[in-house]
Amino acid sequence: MGVRRRAERMKIPQDEYDIESFCQTLIDRSPDKTFEGYHYNHVKVYFYLTEEDWLTNFQENYQIEQLGEIYKITGEYVSRGGETERPVYYAHYYDDSLLMLFTATTEEAKENTVDLTIRRSSTIGEMPIVPQDFQKMHHMVLDQHPDIRITSFKSRRIPDLAEADIRPDYDREIIYNGDDGRQTLQEFREYYGVVPIRVEYRGEEIEFKINKNGKFTLKRTNAENFTLLFDLIREIQDHVLDIQEVSQRIKFRTERRGSGNLELELADVTAGQIDFHKSFNLLMAEEFVESAGEKNYRQFTFTDVSKEAGSLDFSATVTDEIREATFNISATEDSMKIVPKHDCEFPTIVQFYHLITETVDERATIDIFDSESAYAETTA
């Protein structure tokens, strides 16, 4: 008996699309046709930081079909049940800056296709939403839709963004489901100092979910949900692209030059710097290293850790276990220097900065430190 193949989970007619006509087709088309044979009529939209040559990441293991400014990208993998799945993604390079992937596929399918591709790439990475940007989006939804309900949320203790009346020194994470989620979220913020990192909104026309990893779920393909999606992206786009631009400049490069019997190797390092909004101390440094071993943050490991109290002196070698990249960090009470080493590209830097904003300082900023040059001579 051969391996069974599953049908596509999302279909749109063959045509030439720009982003407006593509979204309008999803709005106008019956969900029964777009999501034929699928029990969820949800469009999930993922955003990624990338460069103009983003399509090269998908040329080896995917079937690619150009539909104007939209690309239909079809992957393939064998599911746990032994069926050959063909998840479909519709991709668009939005505003010449962000990659958008539209899909209705499952998390399992995405983990076995797109997620694997992105982890192997040095030119594309998830668009993480730092805590302050997430709060901006959340408040925009509430301001634009005063009567909207919150039916579920996940929230986390973030001291810089919310004070707590009850046991303020405790870390906490709360998941809540209920039609009174909007009121409950406000109460939890006041009492426990938690702010949302995933929210599901529901109104007369709005059914929409956002989370901090750049995933947006439209539970109805109507004009109101698409308008909200692009309003939210425009709200944070400039800040997100600023983070990418700085991260792309943090690099380690080498250049070999020959002169007679000598071969010179020129190393050019552009270091980065994370500036803290609050003072970074020894306890925070220890908790930061410890947090890397927790479930949500296993991407980074720390070796050669050195830390001294007093006038804080903290340093370590950091490895991105997903992309096999390494870089050095050294921190004082005011800032942390990032010195790239092996295969350290911008997706690694972006994810590390996101880790800092989630575990150390929600208001931390990233910029270029300076450019350092070193020379090494070897005999040819």
- Residue 173, pLDDT > 50, answer yes
Q: What percent of the chain has pLDDT over 70?
A: 92
The CA-atom distances, in angstroms, between 22 and each of 16, 70, 214 are 9, 8, 20
DSSP one-letter code for 178: S
Q: Which two tokens stand for residue 186?
A: 């406000």
The CATH code belonging to domain 250-379 is: 3.30.310
Determine the pLDDT at residue 327: 96
Q: To the nearest 5 percent, what fractions of the chain are helix, strand and coil?
A: 30, 35, 35
Query: What b/e sequence results for 28-52 when a residue is b if at least 16 CB atoms lie within 10 Å of its CB, and e otherwise?
Result: eeebeebbeebeebbbbbbbbbbbe
Among 110-114, 260-264, 365-369, which is the least confidently predicted range?
Answer: 260-264
Mean pLDDT, the chain, rounded, equals 89
What is the distance between the alpha carbons of residues 194 and 173, in angstroms, rounded to a whole number?
7
The DSSP annotation for 135-149 comes to HHHHHHHHHH-TT-E
Q: What percent of the chain has pLDDT over 90?
A: 67
List where CATH 3.30.310 sits in the chain: 250-379
- Residue 372, pLDDT > 60, answer no
Determine the pLDDT at residue 260: 64
- Residue 363, pLDDT > 60, answer yes
Determine the pLDDT at residue 4: 53
Q: pLDDT class for 161, splitting at 50, 70, 90?
A: confident
Determine the pLDDT at residue 136: 95
Average pLDDT over residues 159-180: 90
Q: Which two tokens stand for residue 58?
A: 């998908």
Neighbours of 143 (CB within 10 A): 8
List, for residues 263-288, the tens digit of each pLDDT value: 777 778 899 999 999 999 998 898 88
What is the distance between the alpha carbons of residues 274 and 359, in angstroms, rounded to a whole number?
14
Answer CATH for 19-126 from 3.30.70, 2.40.160, 3.90.550, 3.40.50? 3.30.70
What is the distance between the alpha carbons of residues 164 and 277, in angstroms, rounded to a whole number?
19
Residue type, 308: E
Closest CA to 287 of 353, 359, 363: 359
Determine the pLDDT at residue 378: 31
H/E run at residue 237? helix 223-249
List where CATH 3.30.70 sits in the chain: 19-126
Q: CA angle 115-117-122, nearest 5°?
A: 110
* Residue with the larger pLDDT of the pair 254 and 165: 165
What is the distance between the alpha carbons of residues 315 and 30, in angstroms, rounded to a whole number?
57
Average pLDDT over residues 62-74: 97
Q: pLDDT class for 377, splitting at 50, 70, 90?
A: very low
Determine the pLDDT at residue 70: 98
- Residue 67, pLDDT > 80, answer yes
List, for residues 74-121, the tens digit of each pLDDT value: 999 988 888 888 999 999 999 888 999 999 998 999 999 999 999 889
Distance of CA 224 to the CA centre of its chain: 25
Q: Which two tokens stand for residue 96?
A: 């010449």
Contact in structure between 270 and 371 (CB atoms under 8 Å): yes
Contact in structure between 318 and 326 (CB atoms under 8 Å): yes
- Residue 375, pLDDT > 90, answer no
* Residue with the larger pLDDT of the pair 379 and 100: 100
Determine the pLDDT at residue 130: 92
Closest CA to 125 of 356, 346, 364, 375: 346
Contact in structure between 196 and 155 (CB atoms under 8 Å): yes
Determine the pLDDT at residue 358: 87
What is the distance between the alpha carbons of residues 323 and 329, in angstroms, rounded to a whole number?
18
List, for residues 32-59, the tens digit of each pLDDT value: 889 876 656 789 999 999 988 999 999 9
Determine the pLDDT at residue 379: 29
Average pLDDT over residues 118-141: 92
List, for residues 194-222, the tens digit of each pLDDT value: 999 999 999 999 999 999 989 999 999 99
Average pLDDT over residues 351-373: 85
